[in-house]
Amino acid sequence: MPGSNPIPDTLFIRFFSLTALLLMLVSQVHPFDIYQTLRVYGTDKSTLDILHNVGIPLDHVRIKKGVFIDVIASSEQLELLEQTGLTFDVLIDDMTRYFLERNIPDVKRDFELGSMLGNYTYSEIEEKMVALASSYPAIVSVKDSIGTSIEGRTIWAFKVSDNPDQNESEPEILYTGLTHAREPLGMMNQFYFVQWLCENYNVDSVAQYLVDERELWFIPVINPDGYVYNESIAPNGGGMHRKNRLDTGCGTNTQRGVDLNRNYGYDWGADNSGSSPNPCSATFRGDSAFSEPETQAVKDFILAHEFSNVLHYHSYSNVLIHSWGDGSLPDEPDLTTLREIGWEMTKFNGYGVGTGNETIGYGVNGDAVDWTYGSAGLISYTPEVGSFQDGFWPSENRVIPLCQDQLYANQVFGLVGGADYILYEADASNVQGDTIHLAITIQNRGLMDSDGNVIIDLQPYGNLGSFIQFDNDIGGLPARSSKEIERTLILPDTVPDGTEVGFIISISDNSSFVRVDTFTVITGSPSLLFIEDAETDLSNWTTTGTWGIVLSNPNTGNHSITDSPAGNYTSNISSSIMLNAPFSFTAVDYPFARFTAKWDIENNWDFVRFQLSTDGSQWTSLEGLYTESGAGQGTQNPGEQGYDWQSDWVEEFVDLSAYTEESQIYFRFILTSDGYLNEDGFYFDDFRILGYPNFLPGDMDGDEQQTIFDVLAIVDLIFSEDELNTYQIMMGDVNFDGQVTIIDALVLVNIILQD
């Protein structure tokens, strides 16, 4: 090894300057490692195996099933790939330069950002921990070492809790980040969460509760050497090193090191596809389980505490991954626990929840989550923060939005570390009468048993009615258990149909968060304002593209409506079907749409949206029971609601009560596709608009009286040359036979004469 023998000073200086010169020369040709985004054509198992064998990690990829897979590869990996015979294109030829050049600086800085594309450098992280502990000494601990990295850097942990320097008997929760050195958002969102807790401690009930009744632990950087190395090769951000910095005989660049997320002891090295025995691979698992001081430190720290649950943060892919890494599913009841808590955590950011195999189509072994769950016995996930577009180093103006995306997930994760109650389900029967029977299911969704008995309080929603006397104490609720209770709400006789009634419930035990939730139903039955049963023609609709009626796939009757009656839809299309007549909801309470539908739409790329417009040109995509958030690629705008993948016939429900002020509402379905896979498309049937009309039948001028002027207005309608719109029909149809005729005028005259 050079330098192990004593070298005369002068010689050393000459040697050093020569080396420096050589390094400079080399770095002009080949500065460290350049990483590219490659589009590899083919997604079958053999293609993925080749990619893995070349050393390319498959945990952050974009897949177009059967067509291509987009991966991130170093220049060395690219050279190896060229010899494999796989076909690929280079989409982005230098990721670090790309991350820096595309950056849009963040202008508003409520949350102080760091100097690497908005992310803190390692020393900024240390300063941040010091600053938090000194600004909020009552609730943030001084940072504490949990171990030392290969190169001798401290791995820090700190705690947020009341009495942060004492070990209280409160549920403990752990959040970790920067296992992979190029994934800084896993660290940034922890500081964002901690700052939110500190600033809202006396303001927000959840912040106050989490600080007072939980011990929240943070290890923002598990891999300080890798992170500092990235700073050294890309001081402004964009460094692409992933592993730790153990010398594994692969030079000094990004090939070196152990993949810490393949070095944990559960199922370590189970096969060579979930981790690699090759020391230069991006997924090199190390020489033995826990061979690395960084993973040892995390293991020792977890075993020395009584954690309830652990989040191991990574980025990116917009998913929340749980065990098992090999793709098999955990046994019940854990599977349901992992899914239910995961779904709640991702309620607002829309991340997919599942195993690595289910969410990104790839398995691992020796990862932190499998060890934390399988060996330490704790509920654990890996959130992968951000989309493929965000990548490892998102633009600076995306840092805060991505941190905000994790705020609710971090809150829920903290709450479920102890007992935590929710209104899991409620059903009302007999809503036509004045005695409403309620079946209410309370769940302890948390990971600890109730502290004493669970106490509920029920108040009638809007002070309408009263509950028959009941016991507030529903007994103890073990972790992850539910209890159904039945209650009776008596309404006053004066409540008209179309009134929102129900209850406000609060649920708590001796030390839990006091959960308040609301359940309501609408009394009476809704009126049908429009129906399309697809049995005759499409005269109610205006279409573009090939929308039509098909005999096949009937729901009720013999026909349904589809975008492509002849077979699959085609590439690069935008085709729509719009209801001709606009609706007015100004005289309708709680309007909603229902339709039956089934679809087969290319997952994550093509999209069908059910949309509403108040001017016929600007459209809003509506959320229903079965819509999903757009993936932000192909024809799916990020977060936009729509339908993709596939379903059997379902009964969709879309709440329209936000639009009761609108007097002109258009509806349409629109299908958009990209240039690749085409599927069978979208079918719908029995399209209905319903609601609770709140007008007097025949009150054409809206003065809340039925007069002779209204009769004259109805007669005007009858003799009108124009086709009546739904609103006119609804108002003028006094005898509810679905049309406006002279009989309606006569019925109205009768009503007026009787008054």
Residue numbers of the site for Zn ion (CB under 5 A)?
A: 180, 183, 314
Nearer to Zn ion, 258 or 474 (CB): 258
Nearer to Zn ion, 186 or 446 (CB): 186
| C-alpha–C-alpha distance, residues 511 and 516, integer Å | 15
121: Cβ contacts below 8 Å, ≥ 6 apart: 114, 115, 231
Q: State the minimum distance, in angstroms, from the CB of residue 45 to Zn ion.
A: 23
Q: State the minimum distance, in angstroms, from the CB of residue 247 to Zn ion.
A: 22
Q: State the minimum distance, in angstroms, from the CB of residue 642 to Zn ion.
A: 29
Q: State the minimum distance, in angstroms, from the CB of residue 391 to Zn ion.
A: 12
SS3 753: helix
Considering only CA atoms, give the Rg of the chain: 31
What residue type is assigned to position 385 of the chain?
A: V
Residue 611 burial by CB count (10 A; 0-12/13-18/19+): exposed, middle or buried?
A: buried
Largest CA distance in the chain: 119
Q: State the minimum distance, in angstroms, from the CB of residue 321 to Zn ion.
A: 10
| Tally of CB atoms within 10 A around 78 | 18
Q: State the minimum distance, in angstroms, from the CB of residue 240 to Zn ion.
A: 12
Q: State the minimum distance, in angstroms, from the CB of residue 221 to Zn ion.
A: 13
Nearer to Zn ion, 387 or 450 (CB): 387
**Where do we find the tokens 């959040």?**
175
- In terms of DSSP bridges, do strands 607-613 and 620-621 run parallel, antiparallel, or are they unpaired? antiparallel
Nearer to Zn ion, 257 or 634 (CB): 257
Q: State the minimum distance, in angstroms, from the CB of residue 273 to Zn ion.
A: 17
Nearer to Zn ion, 183 or 213 (CB): 183
Q: Which residues pair with 310 in a beta bridge?
A: 174, 380
* Contact call for residues 591 and 691 (beta carbons, < 8 A): yes
| Strand segments (E) across 161-270 | 172-176, 215-219
Q: State the minimum distance, in angstroms, from the CB of residue 261 to Zn ion.
A: 6
Residue 469 burial by CB count (10 A; 0-12/13-18/19+): exposed, middle or buried?
A: exposed
Tokens of 663: 């007097």
Q: State the minimum distance, in angstroms, from the CB of residue 383 to Zn ion.
A: 10
70 DSSP assignment = E
Nearer to Zn ion, 183 or 370 (CB): 183
Nearer to Zn ion, 183 or 644 (CB): 183
Nearer to Zn ion, 262 or 480 (CB): 262
Q: State the minimum distance, in angstroms, from the CB of residue 661 to Zn ion.
A: 47
Nearer to Zn ion, 180 or 241 (CB): 180
| C-alpha–C-alpha distance, residues 609 and 601, integer Å | 11
| C-alpha–C-alpha distance, residues 261 and 258, integer Å | 9
C-alpha distances (whole Å) from 1 to each of 4, 19, 32, 342 are 6, 15, 22, 50
473 DSSP assignment = B
Nearer to Zn ion, 184 or 697 (CB): 184
* Contact call for residues 356 and 364 (beta carbons, < 8 A): yes
> N- to C-terminal Cα distance for the chain?
108
Strand order in the sheet with 88-92: 62-64, 68-74, 35-41, 88-92
Nearer to Zn ion, 263 or 603 (CB): 263
C-alpha distances (whole Å) from 401 to each of 188, 189, 390 are 11, 10, 11
Nearer to Zn ion, 76 or 183 (CB): 183
Q: State the minimum distance, in angstroms, from the CB of residue 59 to Zn ion.
A: 6
Nearer to Zn ion, 36 or 283 (CB): 283
| C-alpha–C-alpha distance, residues 484 and 497, integer Å | 28
| C-alpha–C-alpha distance, residues 71 and 361, integer Å | 13
Q: State the minimum distance, in angstroms, from the CB of residue 183 to Zn ion.
A: 5
Q: State the minimum distance, in angstroms, from the CB of residue 504 to Zn ion.
A: 43
Nearer to Zn ion, 273 or 603 (CB): 273
* Contact call for residues 153 and 225 (beta carbons, < 8 A): yes
15: Cβ contacts below 8 Å, ≥ 6 apart: 2, 7
| C-alpha–C-alpha distance, residues 261 and 372, integer Å | 12
Q: Which residues pair with 460 in a beta bridge?
A: 503
